[in-house]
Chains A and B, each alone.
Chain A
Amino acid sequence: MRLCHSMMNYFPEEVLEHVFDFLTSHRDRNAVSLVCKSWYSVERLSREKVFIGNCYAINPERLIARFPRVRSLTLKGKPHFADFNLVPHDWGGYVYPWIDAMAKCGINLEELRLKRMVVSDESLELLAKSFPNFKALVLVSCEGFTTDGLAAIASNCRFLRELDLQENDVDDRKGQWLSCFPDTCTSLVSLNFACLKGEVNMAALERLIARCPNLKSLRLNHSVPLDALQKILVQAPQLIDLGTGSFVHDPDSEICNKLKNVLQKCTSIRSLSGFLDVNSRCLPSIYPVCTNLTSLNLSYAPEIFSIELIKLIRHCKKLERLWILDTIGDKGLVVVAATCKELQELRVFPSDLNGMGNAEVTEVGLVAISAGCPKLNSLLYFCQQMTNAALVTVAKNCPNFIRFRLCTLNPTIPDAMTNQPLDEGFGAIVRSCKGLKRLSVSGLLTDQVFLYIGMYAEQLEMLSIAFAGNSDKGMLYVLNGCKKLKKLEIRDSPFGDVALLADTGKYQTM
């Protein structure tokens, strides 16, 4: 804005508010609120979406006092390491006080997005009964609730558009929660219950889908069989995002054929996931949607062999995001590199956690991908081994990485060719990828890698370290260097209080 400050003061507040409406990012709105008192005041009264990255950073009362018109709240609880059982179980992150406070103050809550929080059935019941306009509930990696809580949401939220449950730990009470959606509920746009372990009433599910014409995203759980999927898709050809349930059937049966036919009519599907149980020979049924697919998640299906995956991938030329298991092997990744020229995000998860098994995925696959997929900017790669040379090549091929997370299954494995630490490889990555925001390192690493990170990773916001470094120097390099660092997670590394307390002022921005 080129208007000078004094001129802005003569604008009525409505104008300011209208201008601020164009600011969607919470960082922009935070910046705006720091300009002057009147801007702070206008901004706070008009903000509808609030993001709180650490639920203990502020209490609910202060949130409500500052943003009384909040309609959409995003809260994050436990730190990322909690996913891997590295955080004590009683750490906290309860959502109840937030819902309680907002209910008491008459907040017109419409959306609640939670990540790694503890959500009780009481919380869900209170939520369902306190906010008549509630529209969207998204729970990611949460726990503490049962299907009874979901039943309360289904029964009471008359305008529910979104119920999105991603990888939560939910107790199944066998209470027919899905049947609780009343006949009058026709507003669903997104329904994801893939993480639920129990059965749902098929008839109720089919009826629900049939009466929700705006349904765009549907992710089923493993209890929904293939024949039910086929019937559901007949009712919902407008879907954009589909998560199958169980994908097991006699491949020669009429059902698989019917499925293929109905999928041919589902011309809007761009994203596919699920396959929570799969008979590989049924996979050809989904070839019709592969041509236009931009996102594919097969990472829950360890039964699919490399050869089947490869056949499938060859149909997916427009893929932008691929989540897969290391059963694909280096050979499969070469095929991905040759086929998926639009690929931006790749995640390769480990399939065999109990032993070292076969050398499924190594640096060879990664290098092939980097050579074949120039648009790659986000990577999560679990592999048996890595080399500095490979990482150097990858850094040259793909300078656009925003997220680079490498995880060697043996956390301290050195360069497979030279037995050197992997310092140089990661050094090459941070030097080449000037926009890198998130980095996870693994393998044998010394303080040297942290010197590189501190020197080059200027945009780095999140760094994950495990079993790395020699001394406090490593940590000092990072803390002194990475000016934009917001999140730092460290485990099993020799950094002591001296380093971590050396610049406590820095933690204010993290």
Chain B
Amino acid sequence: MEGYPRKDEGCHQFLDLIPKEKKRAVKRAEETSSEDKKLELRLGPPGEQWTINENNNSSSKNTTFGYFSNSPRAQNSILKTPWQDQAKAHFLHLQNSENKASANTAVPNSSSAQKRTAPAPVVGWPPIRSFRKNLASGSSSKQDPDSSNVVLDKVSCQKSKETCPKETLFVKINMDGVPIGRKVDLKAYDSYEKLSYAVDELFRGLLAAQSDSSAGRSKDKEDGQKAIGGLLDRNGEYTLVYEDNEGDRMLVGDVPWHMFVSTVKRLRVLKSSELPTLSRGNKQGKLSHDTSLRC
């Protein structure tokens, strides 16, 4: 290849080492060898050791290749592919095609650029992190599907091995106007919205039954049930509050979910009319003790 600086004449000589008639012989040999089962690579007609002699003669100036002449055993190994015996089968399996190996190693120089075929994918090759793989394939927001599932499995394994697993966190929840309380598992949810929905589900029936019995009417279950909404946005008829680990009564929704879960001791659904008027403000990012609500 021209174009890069040659600081050593020996380098130049090496490139022209293979005389033209040998190159043609190589081409002919390879066309037939693709049918061969043997993957043994030779750059000349089988049995001839011409490359060794050539190297010995012209590489005496080039110290880099000195070892050609010193170690005859090594020369043999160069002429063979490394894929004899155990490595061969593995390599062929990975390459996934009968001729792939010979195609890659036996194609003459000039057409190597064009004849290159994509090898079958090998696990872990090329060695780049999955983080990069996702970027390269264009899915920057997705994880490697294998690793993500396994990561989650591993996390849960780790939890059970190393910490006292807190897989459930049941807290009492009472609602104004309903004499019977419920218990809810906070670990089953990961957001306030889901909790709100769960509270609605827990009490909707009970609340309806309560108002029915107090009104003395019997109603069809489904007709009578009104959804309990607006628990978190202070717009609804009811508001969700909780008692924290310091015994204070706090408005639900101010702090990040996981922080809430770590401090909550019990929940209460209050009638909004019983709460003092609340000011609207941006509660995000502030610690709860700044916005504690005393009822």
What residues of B have a CB within 8 angstroms of the CB of A125 in the complex?
Answer: 262
B4–A367 touching, CB < 8 Å: yes
B258–A470 touching, CB < 8 Å: no
A494–B86 touching, CB < 8 Å: yes
B137–A353 touching, CB < 8 Å: yes
A396 to B161 Cα, complex, angstroms = 54
A393 to B15 Cα, complex, angstroms = 13
A195–B113 touching, CB < 8 Å: no
Q: Which of A210-218, A252-260, A288-296, A440-448 contacts B (4 or more CB under 8 A)?
A: A440-448
Interface residues of B in 1-56 (CB under 8 A from A): 1, 3-8, 11, 14-15, 17-18, 41, 43
What residues of B have a CB within 8 angstroms of the CB of A81 in the complex?
Answer: 124, 127
Interface residues of B in 125-157 (CB under 8 A from A): 125-133, 135-138, 140-141, 143-144, 146-148, 150-155, 157
B285–A176 touching, CB < 8 Å: yes
Q: How far is the CB of B20 from chain A (nearest CB, A)?
A: 14
Interface mask (A368-389 → B, CB under 8 Å = 1, otherwise 0): 1001000000000010110111
Q: How far is the CB of A325 from chain B (nearest CB, A)?
A: 8
Interface residues of B in 153-167 (CB under 8 A from A): 153-155, 157-159, 161-163
Interface residues of B in 175-225 (CB under 8 A from A): 190-191
Q: How far is the CB of B52 from chain A (nearest CB, A)?
A: 12
Interface mask (A160-173 → B, CB under 8 Å = 1, otherwise 0): 00000001010101
Interface residues of A in 132-190 (CB under 8 A from B): 141, 143-145, 148, 151-152, 155, 167, 169, 171, 173-177, 179-183
A38, CB-defined interface residue at 8 Å: no
A201-B158 in contact given A83-B127, A169-B143, A389-B14 (Cβ < 8 Å): no
A282, CB-defined interface residue at 8 Å: no
What residues of A have a CB within 8 angstroms of the CB of B152 in the complex?
Answer: 171
A302–B135 touching, CB < 8 Å: yes
A77, CB-defined interface residue at 8 Å: no
What residues of A have a CB within 8 angstroms of the CB of B162 in the complex?
Answer: 94, 96-97, 100, 120, 122
Nearest residue (CB) in A for B150 is: A89
B122–A411 touching, CB < 8 Å: yes
A421-B5 in contact given A122-B159, A155-B259 (Cβ < 8 Å): no
A353 to B109 Cα, complex, angstroms = 24
A353–B258 touching, CB < 8 Å: no
A446 to B74 Cα, complex, angstroms = 9
What residues of A have a CB within 8 angstroms of the CB of B129 in the complex?
Answer: 83-84, 141, 167
Nearest residue (CB) in B for A180 is: B256
B256–A169 touching, CB < 8 Å: no
B87–A84 touching, CB < 8 Å: no
Nearest residue (CB) in B for A222 is: B140
A446-B77 in contact given A85-B146, A424-B65 (Cβ < 8 Å): yes
B109–A417 touching, CB < 8 Å: yes
A419-B106 in contact given A96-B163, A120-B159, A393-B11 (Cβ < 8 Å): yes
A387–B112 touching, CB < 8 Å: no
**What would 23 A/B residue contacts be, using CB atoms closer than 8 Å?**
A83-B127, A84-B127, A85-B146, A121-B258, A125-B262, A143-B154, A169-B147, A176-B256, A195-B131, A276-B140, A300-B135, A350-B136, A353-B126, A371-B4, A392-B11, A410-B104, A414-B105, A416-B112, A417-B15, A444-B82, A446-B82, A451-B67, A451-B74
